[in-house]
Each structure stands twice: as C-alpha cells, then as structure tokens.
Amino acid sequence: MAVVPETAPVERHDYPKTKKRTLNRRGVLWLGQTCNLRCYFCYFLNRIADTEHPEHAFMTLEKAKAICHTLRYTYGNTAIDIQGGEPTILPDILELILYCNEIGLYPTLITNGLVLAKKEKLQEFKDAGIRDFLVSLHGIGDVHDEVVCRKGAYVKIIQAIENMVELGVPFRFNCTMSSPVISLLPEIAQKAIDYGANAVNFIAFNPFEDQETGIRTHDNVAKYSDIKPMLSEAMDKLEDAGIECNVRYMPLCVVD
C-alpha cells in the first residue's frame, strides 16, 4: 500500500491548461440514484433510499448509449462525466465506457472509490478506456467515514487512489465542505499534491430546489466565515503546486 513517496509528490498527468473563458465540450450523464454509500449531505438521499422512487434504478444500457450518442453527434460533445448514484456498480458500466470511446466521447466517472479499492477492478476500467476518475474525498480518516456513513470507507478510497497512481490512471478530487471537514481542507490539498491529482473541486452547500434535502443542520453546514481561512490555505497550497483548484457555491468576496 506504500505507493506515495515520502519525499516527493507523484508526477501528475499533464493536460493542456488555459486561463481563457472558453466553453468546454463536456456533457453529463446521470445513470440513476443507486449508490453503495449514504453521504449525509447528499442531495438525493431520498431517491437512493427509496427503491420505488422513479429515479432510483439505473437506466438501461441502451438508454445510456442513446444519450451518449446524442451528446456526441447532436451537440458535438467530446467528453462526458458519468455519475449515479455510484456508476462503478452499474452492471454494464464497462460496456458503456467502451462505447463512449468508440464514438469519441472521453469518459470520466465520478466515484466514491469503494469498488476501485480492488486493483483488478480498476484494471478493468483502465482496459475499457476510462479517461479519468473524479474521486469523492470528503475528509481524512474517521471524518470521511463519518460524512459518508460507512466505517472503513476512507481506507478503501485511499487504496483506490493508490491503485490509480500505481496503474497510471489520472484522477481529480471532489470535496464537499461540510462542517467536520473544514479544518482538514489543507490536508486534503496536501493529499492531492502527494498523490498527483490533476485538480481539486471544493464544494459548498447549494440550497436550491431538491438540493435543500439531505440530513443538514447547523452542525454540519459550515458558515462561509468558518470556511474562509482553511479554504484559502488549501487553495494556496494547490496553487503553489500547480494543481487546478475550483470552488463552487461560494461568494467571491469570501476568498482572498
């Protein structure tokens, strides 16, 4: 499990970067709200828990392929974010990844990493032609486990990341900034540096429409004033390391 060197960060996969405001060609595919975790901040907890909810079940492979075909040939997309629920547990996910590559739609999976803790499973995704993973790292150690409501989830997500490093599969991080995580934001930034992530997305609470659901209280939804110092430190770390950092659902005046 000792993949990350103690003295130097892992070399990152270099992709072209620009500071120009250009529209990308990335589409999004929501497969269905079936998941193997119950993150307490999740916008879709009711759909994940209710097997009778019309959005709970995964769509068919045929429907997923049809959406990908439309994105590629009607809208001219060249990349796609595939998400669930948890897309790695879709039975036909490898076939969908193969299809995306066949039509020139580079596939990214947004994942909690549980399935990918098994190196042989990650190898299957690499062989199918996965472009990269957007890994949902929502804390360090027990805090991650608390947030995703699964003991041992942190050990598995770290193993998955180390597998990606070892097999040469590019990845980025998502981090939802719930209250228990705020003090750990600089550590999460350091993890990105040490493991060689291509980007980190820090995500604050977005209180609109169905996103008002989830188990949220004043104890787990952080105030902007509490987020500011730790987020600024984390962003500075990433900037110094040359790693892209994105912040969502935060007023610009909060961050120096």
Would 5 be classed as within a structural domain? no
Would 16 be classed as within a structural domain? no
Please report which confidence band the pLDDT of residue 53 belongs to, taking 50, 70 and 90 as the band edges: confident
| CATH classification of the domain holding 182 | 3.20.20.70
Would 12 be classed as within a structural domain? no
Would 83 be classed as within a structural domain? yes
Would 13 be classed as within a structural domain? no
- Can you give the pLDDT at residue 9? 44
Percent of the chain scored above 70 by pLDDT? 86
Summarize pLDDT for 95-117 with one digit per residue, the tens.
Answer: 999 999 999 999 999 999 999 99
* Region class of 5: left (phi > 0), else alpha (psi between -120 and 50), else beta: beta
Would 15 be classed as within a structural domain? no
Please report which confidence band the pLDDT of residue 253 belongs to, taking 50, 70 and 90 as the band edges: confident
Would 213 be classed as within a structural domain? yes
Q: At residue 146, does pLDDT exceed 70?
A: yes
| Token representation of residue 25 | 């060609």
Percent of the chain scored above 90 by pLDDT? 65
Mean pLDDT of the chain: 88
- Alpha helix stretches (DSSP H) within the chain: 45-49, 61-73, 93-102, 119-128, 142-148, 153-167, 185-195, 224-241
Lowest-confidence pick of 50-59, 74-83, 172-181: 50-59
Q: Residues 156, 117: contact at Cβ < 8 Å?
A: yes
Would 182 be classed as within a structural domain? yes
Q: At residue 216, does pLDDT exceed 70?
A: no
Mean pLDDT of 121-133: 98
Cβ neighbourhood burial of 14 (10 Å; 0-12, 13-18, 19+): exposed
Q: Which of 38, 88, 89 is nearest to 46 (CA)?
A: 38
| Token representation of residue 184 | 């750990």
- Domain hosting 66: range is 26-254
Q: How many domains, in total, are found in the chain?
A: 1
* Region class of 41: left (phi > 0), else alpha (psi between -120 and 50), else beta: alpha
- Can you give the pLDDT at residue 181? 95
